[in-house]
Structure 1
Amino acid sequence: MKRFFCQCGQEIFFDNTHCGVCGSQLGFIPELQQLTSLQEDDKAWLMTDLFPLQRYRSCEHRDDEIACNWLIPAESSNTQCISCALTRTIPILSQPENWRRWRTLEAAKRRMLYGILRLNLPIKGAYQGYPNGLVFDFLEDQRTNPMLALEHVLSGHSQGVITLNAAEADGSFREATREAMNESYRTLLGHFRHEIGHYYWDMLIKDTDHYAMFCEVFEYQQQDYQSSLESYYENGPAADWPASYLSAYASAHPLEDWAETWSHYLMMNETMETAMTYDLIEHFDYASDFDVMMNDWLSLVVKMNALNRSVGNTDAYPFVVSAPVRRKLLFIHQLLKSLRKPRESAAFP
């Protein structure tokens, strides 16, 4: 994440709607990845401090409990920003906790999309009319709402539809699930990054020239997905899974290995960008040499873990990057590097 500053010089942060010092309204321009101070012109359009010739409108969820600070170009007919417009189904708001859950889910989604935009990847929403366009359903089950028929909602992706259990917005739910699943790392942002990985597999790998290399790197022989997952949940992972995978779940099936590795790559990129902007590392470039990037990353996570231990927390980075994992990360790095070459900016149809 980049660092942002208000027109008054105060540091401001990604989700801020107002500056805490001067009180200026703030807005995030997704196509430019900029958070900036706002003022109204004589037609009540929003002008930004950084781009005074462009005009914007607020997302309709700015002034409700969602507090979305993303902006919409003034000429757009949309009332929601590109992030909020991707949400199709929300939790039942008559339940007292669901406003908070929805707000937490949307905040994590915006941060995930920031990373996608920084990598210059297209976002083709269902609301824009694309076949199998991206859409999010935030669903509940009986564990948070006993009045519902659904016993369990499982997070997943199918043909552009990403489903997340709204309870993942609760820290207690995530921690209990993490313990039950024997996971070393489980975050809401990680869920978004994982599921968007399945979406981009359909877009970037399936039926493309990259498919054969994917099959080689991720050892994909079109293993049956459902039976592989059933076997994983019944028998657990192989004892030696850390030798080839980032997580136990990645060993369940090559498509889950892809999604876990994709999520990891997004985490690495945003963390390194943040570290650079705070002068914790000297340089970082999304298109830099992979070996240089990995060396810088592994040096950084040693410091991250040491800091966490010093304040009494578990390791921030509980992963082992084996040679097979490194090769998978390299595949994603080279794939995204090749996709960036012909374009200068992400597509916003």
Structure 2
Amino acid sequence: MRRFFCQCGQEIFFENTHCGVCGSQLGFIPELQQLSSLQEDDNAWLMTDLFPLQRYRSCFHRDHELACNWLIPADSPNTQCISCALTRTIPMLTQPDNWRRWRTLEAAKRRMIYGLLRLNLPINAYYQGYEHGLVFDFLEDQRTNPDLALEHVLSGHSQGVITLNAAEADGSFREATREAMNESYRTLLGHFRHEIGHYYWDILIKETEHYAIFCDVFGFTEQDYQSSLNSYYSDGPATDWPEFYLSAYASAHPMEDWAETWSHYLMMSDTMETAVAYGLIDHFDYASDFDVLMTDWLSLVVKMNALNRSVGNTDAYPFVVSASVRKKLKFIHQLLNPLKKTRESVAFL
């Protein structure tokens, strides 16, 4: 994440709706990836300090508990921003904690979508009429709402539909699940990045010239998915999984290996952008040589882990990047580089 500053000079942050010093309203412009101070003109449209000749409207979800600060072009027929409009199903708001869960889910989704915009990845939304368009369903089960018929909701992706259990917004739920699954790392943002990886596999790999190389790097996807997962959950991962995978779950099936590696690459690129913004590393070029990028990344995570240990926390980066994992990350890096360099900006709204 880059750094943002109000027109008064105060540093402001991605989720802010107002400047804490001068009180200016703030809005995020998705297509420009900028957080800007706002003013109203004579027609009540919003102008920004960075782009005063352009007009915007607030997302419908700005002025209630979601506090969405994303903007919509003034001539758009939509009332919701690109991120909020992607949500189709929300948890029942009559349940005491579901407003908080919904707000937490949407905040993580916006941060994930920021990363997609920065990488120039296409977002073909369901509400725009795309076949298998991207859409999010935030569902509950009996663990958080005993009145429902569903005993368990599992996160997943199918033909553009990403399902997340709303309980993942609860830190206690994630930590209990992490312990039960013997995972070293589990975050809500990580869930979004993982599931969006399945969505982009359909767009960038399936039935494209990249499929054969994918199979060479990750393994053949023809092996039965459900039986592979059943074997993983019944027998556990192979003892040597760290030599070939980022996580134990990645060893369950090539599709999960792809999604885990994709999520990891998004985490790397977003974190390195932040590190440059705050002076922790000198530079980060999305189109740089992969080996240079990895050298800078591994240098950064040493600092991240040292900082965490100094304040008594576990390592921020509990991963081992083996030669096999490095090859998979390089595949994604090279796959995305042409998009970063040559793709025109997408008009989302």
User: TM-score higher than 0.5 here?
Assistant: yes
Establish whether residue 63 from structure 1 lines up as the match of residue 60 from structure 2: no
Query: How far apart are the structure 2 equivalents of 1:177 and 1:254?
Result: 23
Question: How far apart in 2 are the matches of 1:184 and 1:340?
Answer: 31
1:308 maps to what in 2? 308
- Contact 1:123–1:347 (CA<8 Å) still a contact in 2? no
Flag structure 2 segments of 5+ consecutive residues without an equivalent: none
Is 2:4 aligned against 1:4? yes
SS at match of 2:342: coil
Identity of aligned residues (%): 85
Are residue 205 (structure 1) and residue 205 (structure 2) matched?
Answer: yes
Hey, what does 2:251 align to over in structure 1?
A: 251
Separation in 1, partners of 2:39, 2:311: 41
Distance 1:88 1:296, change over 3 A: same
Deviation readout 1:51-97 (Å, 9 max, x if unpaired)? 00100000000001000000000000000000000000000000010
Residue by residue over 1:88-109, the C-alpha shift from the partner in whole angstroms, topping out at 9 and shown as x without a partner, is 0000000010000000000000
Instruction: Give the Å deviation of 1:35.
Output: 0.1
Counterpart-to-counterpart distance in 2, 1:90 and 1:135: 12
Tell me which residue corresponds to 1:33: 33
Q: Answer yes or no: is 1:262 the counterpart of 2:262.
A: yes
Contact 1:122 1:347 in 2 (8 A): no
SS in 2 for 1:83: helix
**What TM-score comes out, normalization by structure 1 length?**
0.99
What's the counterpart of residue 72 of structure 1?
A: 72
Match in the other structure for 2:336: 336
C-alpha contact (below 8 Å) 2:217/2:327 kept by paired residues: yes
Contact in 2 for aligned 1:33/1:118 (Cα 8 Å)? yes
Distance of 1:57 and 1:251 partners within structure 2: 46
Q: Residue by residue, what CA displacement relative to the aligned partner does 1:110-129 show, whole Å, maximum 9, x if unpaired?
A: 00000000000010100111
Q: What's the RMSD between the two structures over aligned residues?
A: 0.8
Q: What residue is the counterpart of 2:189 in the other structure?
A: 189
In the TM superposition, what is the alpha-carbon distance from 1:338 to its structure 2 partner? 2.2
Post-superposition CA distance 1:198-224 (Å, at most 9, x none): 000000000001000000000125110
- Could you tell me which residue of structure 1 aligns to residue 123 of structure 2? 123
Question: How far 1:285 moved relative to its partner?
Answer: 1.0
Secondary structure of the equivalent of 2:80?
coil
C-alpha distance in structure 1 between counterparts of 2:251 and 2:346, whole Å: 32
> What SS is found at the alignment partner of 2:28?
strand
Gap runs ≥5 in structure 1: none
Q: How does 1:1-150 map to 2 (within 5 A)?
A: 1-150=1-150
Cα displacement (A) at 1:341: 3.6
Q: What amino acid is aligned across from residue 292 of structure 1 in structure 2?
A: V
Q: 1:241 matched to which residue of 2?
A: 241
For residues 308-343 of structure 1, the C-alpha deviation after alignment (integer angstroms, 9 at most, x for no partner) is 001000000000000000000000000001233432
Could you tell me whether the CA contact under 8 Å between 2:119 and 2:339 is conserved in 1? Answer: no
Structure 2 contact 137–164 (Cα < 8 Å) conserved: yes
The CA distance in 2 between the partners of 1:343 and 1:247, in whole Å, is: 32
Distance 1:347 1:256 in 2: 31
Instruction: Give yes or no for contact 1:141–1:151 (8 Å, CA) kept in 2.
Output: yes
Q: What amino acid is aligned across from residue 267 of structure 2 in structure 1?
A: M
Q: Could you tell me which residue of structure 2 aligns to residue 327 of structure 1? A: 327
| Number of equivalences | 349
Matched, 1:274 2:277: no
TM-score normalised by L of structure 2: 0.99
Deviating above 3 A after TM superposition, structure 1's stretches of 4 or more consecutive aligned residues are none
Report Cα offsets for 1:115-161 as digits up to 9, x if no partner.
Answer: 00000001010011100000000000000001100000000000000
The aligned runs of 1:134-173 (5 Å cut-off) are 134-173=134-173
How far did residue 347 of structure 1 move? 4.6
- Contact 2:133–2:161 (8 Å) recurs in 1: yes
C-alpha distance after superposition, 1:12-55 (max 9, x if no partner): 00000000000000000000000000000000000000000100
Q: Is the 8 A contact 1:93 1:99 kept in 2?
A: yes
The answer (yes or no) to whether the contact 1:121–1:347 under 8 Å persists in 2 is no
